[in-house]
Amino acid sequence: MKRIIISGGGTGGHIYPAITIYKEIMKQNPDAQVLYVGTEKGLEATLVPKEGIEFTTLPVQGLQRKLSLGTLVTLGKTAFSLVKANTIISNFKPDVVIGTGGYVCGPILMAAALRNIPTLIQEQNVIAGITNKILSRFVDIVAVGYKDAEASFSKAKRVVYTGNPVRPDVLVDTRADGRNYFNLSDDTFTVLIAGGSRGARTINNAMIDVHKHFQGTKGIKLIHITGDGEYKSVLSQLGITDGDGLGDSSVILPYLHDMPKALAAADLAVFRSGAIGLAELAVRGIPSVLVPYPYAAEDHQTYNARIFVQEGAAHMIVDQMLSAHDLIGEIEMFMANRDLLSQMGERALQLGKPNAAHDIAKLALSIAK
C-alpha cells in the first residue's frame, strides 16, 4: 500500500490541481493512503475535507517583501513549520510527497527531500512561483503545465512537461448536454464570462454596458458568472433584482457549481488567465478573450495568456485598458467570423492536455519507494 502526502494551498489554483491528482492516484492505486498538508486559514481547509481526504495543517505564511516585525513572525512560523513537517513525515512515513504550489509546500517538500523521500512538484504557470523555484533544486521531479516553464527550472534534477491537471468532469458533458442545461438552441452564440472563484471587478464593470448593448438581441446568450462578492453590485448597476431580469440575451449568476456544463455550451469565453481556467478552456477547445489579473505574483497571468495568444487560441486585453466597447467589438467580430472562431478553437484544443492528471499521478507513483 502506497502512502502519499499531497500539499498545496492558498488559492484554488494550487488546491484544485492537488485534488485532481489525488483522484487520479486513487484510480491508479485504490489502496493508497493519502494525507493532505495545508494551512488552517487557506481555502484548502474547507475544500479538502469535503473530498474525504485526511487533512492536517502547518503554521506557515508568505514572506513580506520588506523587513518588519511581521517578517520575523513569519520566519519564526516557517522554522516551526519545518519541525512540524518533520514530525508529520516521521509519523506518516510517506513513500512519495507531491506539492502543487503555495507557501505550505515549502516545509513539507523540503523536509521530505532532505530525508531522501521521493518528491514531485507541479508548477501550473509559465512563470514559476517562488516556493516551487526554491524547491526545484531539491526535489526529484518538476512537472510543468507549460513547455515554456522549463526555463524557470534550469537547476532542477528532472523536468517533465505534463500540462496542467483538469477535473475529469470538465470532459464528460457534450455540447448538447451543456445547451440543454441552459435551454439554448444550437445556433445561439453563447459567451461564458467568468473571472475566477472570487469574480473580477474589471470584467464585471465592463460587462454592464455589454449586457445593455445585447439586450433583446436574438441569437446570443451571455452567461456571466460574477463571483459571490460582486453579484449584487452587478444587478444593482443593471437595475434588476435577479440574474434573469435582463431578458433572453443574458443570464447572470453569482457562482456556478456546474461549470463543466457552461464550458460544454460555450462558443467563446471571456476569462482571467489563471492556469487551471486556461487548461479547462484548452481541453474543451474554446477560443477566448483573456484579461489577465495584473496583480498576480510575477504577473504570471499575463505570461500564461501570451502563450494562448501566440498559439492563435486567444485574444488578450490588458486589464487597465478593458472597456465595454472592447468586449462588444470582440463578441460581434467572433459572431460574424465563425471560421476564425473555429480555427482558434482548434488551436486551443492543441494546447490541451486531457491526460495531465493521469501522467502526473503515474510519475509520482513511479518514483514512490
Q: At 119, which CATH number?
A: 3.40.50.2000
pLDDT at 369: 87
On whether both 215 and 359 belong to a single domain, the answer is no
Alpha-helical runs (H) found in 67-185: 69-92, 105-114, 130-135, 175-181
Q: If pLDDT is split at 50, 70 and 90, which confidence band does 11 have? A: confident
The whole-number average pLDDT for the span 347-351 is 98
pLDDT confidence tier of residue 61, bands split at 50, 70 and 90: low
Task: Please measure the distance between the N-terminal and C-terminal CA atoms of the chain and give it in whole angstroms.
Answer: 11
Q: How many CB atoms lie within 10 A of CB 297?
A: 12
pLDDT value at 71 more than 50: no
d(CA 287, CA 331): 11
12/22 Cα distance (integer angstroms):
15
Cell 434573469 sits on residue: 244
What is the CB-side half-sphere exposure of residue 66 using CA atoms within 13 A? 1
Which residues define the annotated binding site for UDP-N-acetyl-alpha-D-glucosamine? 11-13, 125, 167, 197, 301
Among the residue ranges 2-11, 25-34, 189-198, the one predicted with the least confidence is 189-198
Q: Does pLDDT of 348 surpass 60?
A: yes
Residue 120, pLDDT above cutoff 70: yes
pLDDT at 70 over 80: no
**Cell digits for 199?**
469574480
Bind-site residues: 11-13, 125, 167, 197, 301
User: Residue 174: pLDDT band by 50, 70, 90 thresholds?
Assistant: very high
Backbone phi, psi, residue 57, to 5°: -125, 160
**How many C-beta neighbours within 10 Å does residue 359 have?**
17
Cβ count near 247 (within 10 Å): 12
Q: What per-residue confidence (pLDDT) applies to 200?
A: 87
The mean per-residue pLDDT over the stretch 288-296 comes to 95
Q: Are 109 and 7 in contact (CB under 8 A)?
A: yes
In degrees and rounded to multiples of 5, residue 331 shows phi and psi of: -65, -45
Residue 127 and residue 41 share a domain: yes
pLDDT of 131 strictly over 50: yes
Cα–Cα distance, 229 to 237 (Å, whole number): 14
Same domain, 7 and 102: yes
pLDDT exceeds 80 at position 364 = yes
Count of domains for the chain: 2
**pLDDT score of 75:** 45
User: Are residues 276 and 156 part of one domain?
Assistant: no
Structural domain including 300 reads 169-351
187 and 327 inside one domain: yes
User: Are residues 190 and 264 located together in one domain of the fold?
Assistant: yes
